Amino acid sequence: MTTGKSSSEWIDIEKKYYAQTVRRQPVVIVRGEGARVWDADGKEYLDFVAGWAVNQLGHSHPAITQAIAEQAGTLLQTSNQFYTVPQLQLAEMLVENSCLDLVFFGNSGAEAVEGAMKLARRYGKLHRDGAYEIITAFNSFHGRTQATVAATGQPHYQENFAPLLPGFVHVDYNDVEGVMNATSDRTAAVMVEPVQGEAGVIIPDDDYLQRLRQWCDSQGILLILDEVQTGMGRLGSLFGYQEYEVEPDVMTLAKGLGYGVPIGAFLSKAHCQALVPGDHGSTFGGNALTTAAGYAGTKFLIENDIPGHVKQMEPYLLGRLNDVKDRFSFVTEVRGKGLLAAMDFDDAISGQVLANCNEAGLLLNGPRPNTIRFMPPLNTTPAEIDEAVGRLEEALAKI
Ligand SMILES: *Cc1c(COP(=O)(O)O)cnc(C)c1O
């Protein structure tokens, strides 16, 4: 596909016209198919970023493109004063396949978390004598809006935007005693990620979520699981909580829920649904286009047991990455769950590794200066994993 300009010409245009808020890798992607993308110069890459754990079925999957094309020619946007069918089909599918009872759709992960936190505050007002605090974890990531930045336990996302929204207490991830000590009569909810994605794929202790669940039950506070990154099959079950045998009161979804279109959702159990008409809304939230894509993709995911495929690919991907670790002494650790994996180095070289990977034809992401992350499409194959690992080794050999 030709765009009339080279990658470097497009990058110059970006520097001139686009707000410089994101550190980008110098790759101008013009087309994608399955696990592969092509840049404006015609170079091919294996895409193990997948739109940031979004493209669960890869690029241009026929089930998604067909649903989008059909819906685009039928109905896009109506406002939520009216009912639309794809929104209700996706809502029914998510509820019938989860432990939650009710859904609200927004447009992004941050918006999903905002909704979940509004629900928690409303719940606190109704059932906990005005409790409003939410306990979250250090090194968490919950989004970039003012409220979700306050929830996020990473000072470098917060410092430039103080004063922060009050009502958040941070404790270490995996530290249940920390949560216990931080709980007071102001506490409305505890919110954590089943696996911390942006922190560099931090896997919880086996009993962490279960112990949090017990604590929340004993205190009458809500357990919110932010599954924006771990939901929709990423960890090897449709939802991450299923891997840890706990049921959240509230769950957020986004990223993988849209298969490439922007959508988010928060789901809740009936007992904690404290929001009433007028409390919350969204102009675009759950519109016919995004929910038609979400419905088609989720139907495909479930009918083809893509989470089961992820479970099979997990040991394969981790095995291959551990082979790499054995070959390069500066690789210190490999970890992951499902098709969310990370590799640590003994030094802050992830930027250099990513640049070398780009050259070798592999797209990855570096959540930490010494960590790179792998989040391929969920329907990736052993052959694609082999090819990606080959390109990774080529990149590491030049370090
Ligand atoms: C990405 C992410 C968000 C924010 O989602 P956006 O769509 O970027 O607003 C929130 N929570 C978690 C766990 C995420 O990984």
Taking the mean position of all CA atoms in its chain, how far away is CA 375? 10
Q: What is the pLDDT of residues 26-58, one digit of tens each?
A: 999 999 999 999 999 999 999 999 999 999 999
* Helix or strand run (H / E) with residue 39: strand 36-39
Range of weakest confidence among 87-101, 150-164, 218-232, 245-259: 150-164
Q: How far apart are CA 117 and CA 147, in angstroms?
A: 9
Whole-number percent of the chain with pLDDT over 70: 100
**Sorting pLDDT into bands at 50, 70 and 90, what band is 287?**
very high
Per-residue pLDDT at 302: 98
Residue 227 CA to ligand 1 centre (angstroms): 9
Substitution candidate for ligand 1 out of 111, 114, 142, 266 with most atoms within 8 A of CB: 142
What average pLDDT does the segment 58-70 reach? 98
Please tell me the distance between residue 118's alpha carbon and the centre of ligand 1 in angstroms.
Answer: 17
35 by Cβ neighbours in 10 Å (0-12 / 13-18 / 19+) ranks as: buried
pLDDT, tens digit, for every residue of 3-31?
999 999 999 999 999 999 989 999 999 99
- How many angstroms separate the CA atoms of 4 and 62, rounded? 27
- Position 273 scores a pLDDT of 87
Percent of the chain with pLDDT over 90: 96
CATH 3.30.230.10 fits 7-61+305-396, yes or no: no
- The ranges assigned to domains in the chain are 7-61+305-396, 75-303
193 lines ligand 1 (CB under 6 A): yes
Interacting residues of 113 by C-beta distance below 8 A, sequence separation 6+:
142, 143, 147, 148, 151, 191, 226, 228, 252, 266
Residues 231 and 222: their CA atoms lie apart, in Å, by 19
Asked whether the predicted pLDDT for residue 312 surpasses 90, the reply is: yes
pLDDT the model gives residue 272: 92
Q: How far is the CA of 160 from the centre of ligand 1 (A)?
A: 19
pLDDT of residue 154: 87
**Ligand 1 centroid distance, CA of 142 (Å):** 5
Q: Lowest-pLDDT range, 63-77, 144-158, 175-189? A: 144-158
Atom number, ligand 1, closest to the C-alpha of residue 262? 7
CATH topology of domain 75-303: Aspartate Aminotransferase; domain 2 (3.40.640)
What pLDDT is stored for residue 2 in this prediction?
80
pLDDT given at position 156? 87
Q: What is the per-residue pLDDT for 396?
A: 98
Mean per-residue pLDDT, 161-188: 97
Mean pLDDT in the chain? Answer: 97
